[in-house]
Each structure stands twice: as C-alpha cells, then as structure tokens.
A = this chain, B = another copy of it.
Amino acid sequence: MGKRMFIEGNVAIAWGAATAGCQAFFGYPITPQNEITEWFAREFPKMGRIFVQTQSELGSINMLYGAAASGIRAITSSSSTGWSLMQETVSSMSNAALPCVIVNVQRGGPGGGTIRHAQQDYIQCTRGGGHGDYRDIVLAPASAQECCDLVQLAFYLADKYRNPVVVLSDGIIGRLRETIEVERIEFGPLPDKDWAAIGVARHKDGRRRIIHHGAGTLNPIPPFVGFLEKLNQKIQQMQESEVRYEGYQMEDAKLILVAYGYTSRVSKEAINMARTEGIRAGLIRLITAWPFPYQIIKEKAYQGCKFLVVEDCLGQMVDDVRFAVEGRAEVHLVSILDRHIPTDGGMILPDKVFSKIKEINE
C-alpha cells in the first residue's frame, strides 16, 4: 500500500520519479516548476541519489544525455523557455535511442512570456520539438495523483521504446495541492539495458555494449535510411499501442469537449453544469497528447457529434481535432483569449466554457 500525502502536482511528479527508481535529476530553476527542482535538491541527496543544479537548461539536457547513456533512470524538468533550449539535445537523444523523462510545466509564451500557467507548447512537444523526424510520447497529467502515476509510466515507456518521454504539465496542475497515494506501479517486464555505457565495452559473451548513433554517420546510406526505417517503425508502434485518453460522460454525448491538463478539469465542471440543464456534453481528456486519439474523435465526428476544444493557448490541439474530424463536424474553441480577466489571474473558467457549450447547443 502506498503513502498518502497532501501535495502539489509538482511535488507529486518528484515523488513519482523517486518511486519509479529514478537515480538522477538535473535542472535549473524556473517558475512555475520550481517545487520540482526544490524537492530533488532537498530529498535526493538524502536518498543517496543525484541532484545537480546545472549552469543552464543546456547543461541539464546534456547531463541527462550522459546519465541516460549509463543506463540509469534520469529526469530533467523545466518550463517553456528552458524546454526550447533543450531541443538540439532532445533530438540527439532520440537519435541515440536513449530513454529519459523530461517534464515541461508550461508557462506563458512566446519568449519570456509570463511566469503563470499556459498550454502553449502543445505542438512543440507533440512533434518532437527539435529537428529531424522523431517523436516523443507526451503524457499530460490532470491531477496530483496523475502527476505521480504518469511520471512512473513515462519512465516505463521511455525504457520500453528507448526514447525520450515528455510529461506535459502546466502551472495550474503543477501547483494544485491534492491528496494522493504514492505507490510504485508495475507496468510489466522491460528489456535488459545491455547497451548501457558502464565502463566495459563488451559483454562477457563478446557482444559489444553500443549506443547506436543511428543517423550520426558520415556515410549517409544505407545506415542513415536504415536507421530511419527503424525509427519509423518505432513511431508507428507508439502510435498504435500507446494512445491513452479518458472518456467522461461520453455514452450519450452530442457535444464532445476535448482538453488536457488543467482545462480538462475546467471542462468537466462545465459539462456538469451543462448536464444539469440537460445538455448532452461529454469529454475526451487526453492522457497522451502524443499519440493523439484521432480514431475515437473521427468516429464520433462521423456519428454526428460536435466538438469543443478547450485549451489555454491561441489554438494548437484544435488542429489535431480538426484533422481527425475530416470536415464532418463543427469544431469550436475556447482559447487563451477567453480567459477570465482579471481577478483570477487569467484562467479559463467553467463559466466561460459553459457559455460556449450553450451557444453551440442552440
């Protein structure tokens, strides 16, 4: 049985990582994820694990590269601008097939943006982020409990696919305090990390430990294309096997909200309001932002449902929904421009979503 705690989402991420056996954290402070860095700074040394406050996010991601290459579970965490600084190396880690977990607790952008919450990095995270053809699985927690659980899943999927996995949180989820149960989750067996660079170049049976820099060769073909074929298979396999979402009030829903993170909670409240007025609204909440649940959305579109995307940006995920519906359904949007101003610091509130639901329903 797990340990009950009343903690913030950010702290829950840290507990999840520790529970998953993560051995090393590398990070540089940035709001609104500082509780993560602080937790590791305080707790990891006591556990005999590694915490390094790096010179910058470039240092974080490159130290993560090194730690991952040694075969241990390792993590970094940042917020939007820091995540952007990491892109060259995230791309390199995907190339080298190194498992790791990267947390992005989104703040407002572009640029320095605001230190407050936002959901403006959806496209960047779900398309890899850096150059070249690669994808990272992106997990989007919507509660402190899920922060803890999904970061454990993230480590599992990273090891399973030998690929970076992103945990995409936001400033609201990160700082919302809830009672959770911290418990180690077993997801199944994993392949041996016999590729890990742990000081000896060969196994006893003569096989070489090798971190394959897939595309990193001056002889461009066939190793390069051969590598891309395998990368493509991995991407396909992730898309087929790893789509995760939560359906809420979906059985009879005619209007389907699509959201992730904090706006999915706002959306649930708005749906509850709508239901009291007899409006048949439901929610598809993304658990994986990538791969995206195109199939269920497409099916619902062909069944005549309408869609309402609720996301705290100018509209990014909405294009994935539009893609999925193939022109067969209305797709509406409550965006960052619909934030409640100014008393609450600019969240999208249930009222606004509920209004939109009623407007669509008319």
Q: Which residues from chain A sit less than 8 Å from chain B, CB to CB?
A: 45, 48, 50, 52-53, 55, 58-59, 62, 66, 80-85, 87-88, 91-96, 106, 108-116, 118, 120-121, 123-124, 127-134, 213-218, 220-222, 224-225, 228-229, 231-232, 235, 313-316, 319, 322-323, 326-328, 336-337, 339, 341-342, 345-346
Contact = CB atoms under 8 A, between A and B. Distances in A.
A132 B110 contact: yes
B220 A314 contact: no
B111 A215 contact: yes
Contact of A110 (B59, B66, B128, B326): B128
Contact of A133 (B110, B129, B215, B224): B110
B111 A337 contact: no
B131 A221 contact: no
Given A80-B132, A116-B224, 11 more contacts: A85-B87, A85-B88, A92-B110, A96-B111, A111-B216, A121-B132, A124-B128, A133-B314, A221-B342, A221-B345, A225-B336
A116 B81 contact: no
A130 B113 CA distance: 12
Question: Which of A81, A231, A345 has most chain B Cβ within 10 Å?
Answer: A81
A343 to B, nearest CB: 9
The 5 nearest A-B residue pairs measured at CB: A109-B132, A95-B111, A110-B132, A326-B327, A92-B111
B339 A225 contact: yes
Contact of A314 (B92, B112, B232): B232
Given A220-B345, A314-B232, A327-B328, A45 B55 contact: no
Contacts of A327: 326-328
